[in-house]
Amino acid sequence: MVRLAFYLFFPTAITLAGSLVIAALAMGMTDTQPILVASVLGFALGVPASYFVAREITNRG
C-alpha cells in the first residue's frame, strides 16, 4: 500500500497545489508569498490524500 500511495502522491499533490494556486490567483493574491503558501499547502495535503486514496483502493480490491 505504501508503494501505491507513493505513486499516487505526485498526481495528487500536483492537482491540489495547482488548484490552490489558481484559487489564490482568483482571489487577487498575486504576490509571491500567497502563491508559495498555496503550493506548499497543496504539497503537504497531498501526503494524507494519497494515503487515503491508496487505502480505499486496496480495501476494495
Could you list the mean pLDDT of each consecutive 10-residue stretch along the chain, which spans 61 residues? 93 96 96 96 96 94 64
pLDDT given at position 60: 87
Residue 9's domain comprises 2-60
Amino acid at 1: M
pLDDT given at position 1: 86
CB atoms within 10 A of CB 15: 13
Q: pTM of this prediction?
A: 0.86
Structural domain tally of the chain?
1
Q: Sign of the CA dihedral 22, 26, 27, 31?
A: positive
pLDDT given at position 61: 64
CA distances from residue 3 to 38, 41, 48, 52, 61 in whole angstroms, order as listed = 26, 23, 14, 13, 15
